Amino acid sequence: MYQVIILGTILLVSLYVSKRIHNQKLNMPPLVRYKIPIIGHTYSYLFNCEEFLKQCKKEYGDIFSIYVWGHVRTIVGKEYAQDILSRDDAFNFSVAFNKKFPGDLLLKNLGPFDPTRLLKDHITCKLDLYSERMQKSLYSATQKYIDIGDHDGPKVFNNMYHLMTRIISTPIANIFIGEEESQYEEVIKTFSEFTSDSAALLKVPPILDFIYPGLQNYFNRILVKSGLYNPATKHQDILTKHIKNQVCKRLEEKKKYGDSWKRPNDFLQDIMERDDFDPINVSYLSLADRMFALIFASIHTTAGGCANAFMDLASRPQYMQELYEEQLEVHKEADENGVLPFEALNKMKKLDSFVRESLRLVGHLTSLEHAVIKNYTFSNGLQVPKDRVVYVYADDVYQDESLQGPNPKSFEPFRHVDKNTVASKISKNYLPFGGGRHACPGRYFAINEIKFFMHNMILNYNFRTESGKVEKRKMIGPAALPSTSGIIIEKKVK
């Protein structure tokens, strides 16, 4: 009899326990204490972010939440950073982006589109073919925009990043939509300005979110939808017109010359030859929007990478000679136009390490924001709920000696030489391109551009910071931007 009672009790207790576990609230990361309601940690996050996050981690552990701009956000330290990148069933980059940016409204005609597939099929595997054009158009754009002319004197440039968006747009436009550069000044301008014009929506501090989380984005969406403010329209008109001209011209020429037609070799032509392209019924708006999505991903990121690498070297003249000697050696392989064979990129070992160091120390304190798309439990038992936005605590990854080696935060340009870690190689201690299955598919393309750009600058120009000091990144809260301090550039006398 008593056995039945014991069994019954065990059954009841376990039922009760399992029901409790089932209904249990999630075991969420600790929310860092704050004093002022509504404002929460917004002030510290904006104006004292580095110290603030350090203190949070010390007191609250590897994963903690803070209250900023009316939202609870979770910051994930180095121990669990890889979860965010590898568990794409639970963490989603584009969902997080769409929470704060009305990309779907700006690019209304995008349609179903897999940029990673397109880049893999038509850009990454053809980088060797594009190498010569990339160099020619990059070098001529550099000369054009860093227009020192023949008078030798040094010239001061403020805001290298701005200059870089123009320079970098030239080779990217060349490879994306065609080689007739001289004919499309207007298009280059659109390539270089589309991102910053659109991102103006991101620069407004989300003050409305203090009233209700998400209200700012709601308001921005109304602005765009109603047509009161749409920074993309003028660029769309320009690019759509250009693409339409190109596509019509190419279709006509192909019809006229048949097999003897020499097809232009670029991304646009590749897209036109895909199965899903219907020459009878072309949506130019959709073609243009696809280009814009790629422009959004490629121009400001690559321009930022170039500007940072350039500022980092200008700040540290002690490394100039060593890099110069390497470039001089590599340049012996150049043809009569100064164009290097594709393989020469692999011989720029010191420069590659320099670029990797510049990207490693890109300076974001938090990065890679992802939205949680289903409740997720970390291996330490902490849980984050669906719809939470999480950030990788990048500074935590970069401060760590066991991940980075000695002096983790000091700029040591040759620390990656002969370590089998080239600048395009993702790893858990190097996050500028994210990681896992969704790591940036444009990184090989970007690194090649940065290296060719630096190669050319090191060989042909002298440059230094106007202040004579190391110019640090410009911080806006946890985000780092290239320094806008003056750089003095002059042509090398040969």
Ligand X SMILES: *[C@@H]1O[C@H](CO)[C@@H](O)[C@H](O)[C@H]1NC(C)=O
Residue list, annotated binding site: 440
Annotated binding site for heme: 440
User: Which of the ranges 69-77, 88-96, 132-140, 319-327 carries the binding residues for ligand X, by CB under 6 A?
Assistant: 88-96
- Tell me if 94 contacts ligand X by CB under 6 A: yes
**Bridge partners of 66?**
73
- Tell me if 116 contacts ligand X by CB under 6 A: no
State the Cα torsion 489-481-192-447 to the nearest 10°: 80
- Tell me if 400 contacts ligand X by CB under 6 A: no
Spell out the residues 6+ positions from residue 87 whose beta carbon is closer than 8 angstroms to its own. Answer: 376
Spell out the long-range contacts of 431-436 with Cβ–Cβ below 8 A and sequence spacing 24 or more. 431/81, 431/367, 431/368, 431/392, 431/394, 431/397, 432/305, 432/359, 432/360, 432/362, 434/85, 434/93, 434/368, 435/82, 435/85, 435/86, 436/82, 436/85, 436/86, 436/88
**β-bridge pairing 71-76 and 389-392:** parallel
Question: What is the nearest approach in angstroms of ligand HEM to the Cβ of residue 416?
Answer: 16
- Tell me if 478 contacts ligand HEM by CB under 6 A: no
**Bridge partners of 106?**
none
Q: State the DSSP code for 341.
A: P
Show the binding pattern over residues 15-44: x = contacts ligand X (CB under 6 A), - = does not: -----------x------------------
One-letter amino acid identity for 195?
T
SS3 488: strand
Exactly one of 39, 79, 82, 88 binds ligand X (CB under 6 A); which one?
A: 88
CA distance 208 to 219: 8
Q: How far is CA 455 from CA 10, 92, 310, 313, 338, in A?
A: 74, 36, 11, 12, 11
Pick out residues in 250-289 that bind ligand X (CB under 6 A). 281, 283
User: Which of the ranges 87-95, 260-268, 402-410, 414-422 carries the binding residues for ligand X, by CB under 6 A?
Assistant: 87-95
CA distance 455 to 461: 10
| Cβ-based nearer residue to ligand HEM, 120 or 255 | 120
Show the binding pattern over residues 240-269: x = contacts ligand HEM (CB under 6 A), - = does not: ------------------------------
CA distance 400 to 366: 15
Exactly one of 434, 477, 478, 482 binds ligand HEM (CB under 6 A); which one?
A: 434
Question: What is the nearest approach in angstroms of ligand HEM to the Cβ of residue 280?
Answer: 29
The one of ligand X, ligand HEM, none whose footprint includes residue 440, by CB under 5 to 8 A per kind, is ligand HEM
The one of ligand X, ligand HEM, none whose footprint includes residue 442, by CB under 5 to 8 A per kind, is ligand HEM
Pick out residues in 119-158 that bind ligand HEM (CB under 6 A). 119
Residues belonging to the chain: 494
| Cβ-based nearer residue to ligand X, 114 or 259 | 114
For residue 354, which of 375, 329, 326, 380 has the smallest C-alpha distance?
Answer: 326
Cβ atoms of residues 121 and 393 within 8 Å: no
SS3 68: strand
The one of ligand HEM, ligand X, none whose footprint includes residue 223, by CB under 5 to 8 A per kind, is none
The one of ligand X, ligand HEM, none whose footprint includes residue 345, by CB under 5 to 8 A per kind, is none
Question: What is the nearest approach in angstroms of ligand X to the Cβ of residue 152?
Answer: 53
The one of ligand X, ligand HEM, none whose footprint includes residue 385, by CB under 5 to 8 A per kind, is ligand X
- Tell me if 297 contacts ligand HEM by CB under 6 A: yes
CA distance 25 to 338: 65
- Tell me if 92 contacts ligand X by CB under 6 A: yes
Cβ atoms of residues 399 and 50 within 8 Å: no
Size of the site for ligand X (CB under 6 A): 10
Question: What is the nearest approach in angstroms of ligand X to the Cβ of residue 283?
Answer: 5
Show the binding pattern over residues 376-415: x = contacts ligand HEM (CB under 6 A), - = does not: ----------------------------------------
For residue 139, which of 446, 458, 355 has the smallest C-alpha distance?
Answer: 458
For residue 139, which of 453, 474, 490 has the smallest C-alpha distance?
Answer: 453
- CA count, 13 A, side-chain hemisphere, 391: 21
User: Which of the ranges 86-94, 294-302, 415-423, 481-489 carries the binding residues for ligand X, by CB under 6 A?
Assistant: 86-94
Question: What is the nearest approach in angstroms of ligand X to the Cβ of residue 249?
Answer: 21
Exactly one of 430, 445, 452, 453 binds ligand HEM (CB under 6 A); which one?
A: 445
CA distance 364 to 480: 5
- Tell me if 482 contacts ligand HEM by CB under 6 A: no
Q: How far is CA 74 from CA 94, 316, 340, in A?
A: 17, 36, 46
Question: What is the nearest approach in angstroms of ligand X to the Cβ of residue 23?
Answer: 9
The one of ligand HEM, ligand X, none whose footprint includes residue 301, by CB under 5 to 8 A per kind, is ligand HEM
Size of the site for ligand HEM (CB under 6 A): 24
Residues forming contacts to ligand HEM in the complex (CB under 6 A) are 85, 93, 115-116, 119, 294, 297-298, 301-302, 305, 368, 432-435, 438-443, 445-446
Residues forming contacts to ligand X in the complex (CB under 6 A) are 26, 88, 92, 94-95, 281, 283, 375, 385-386
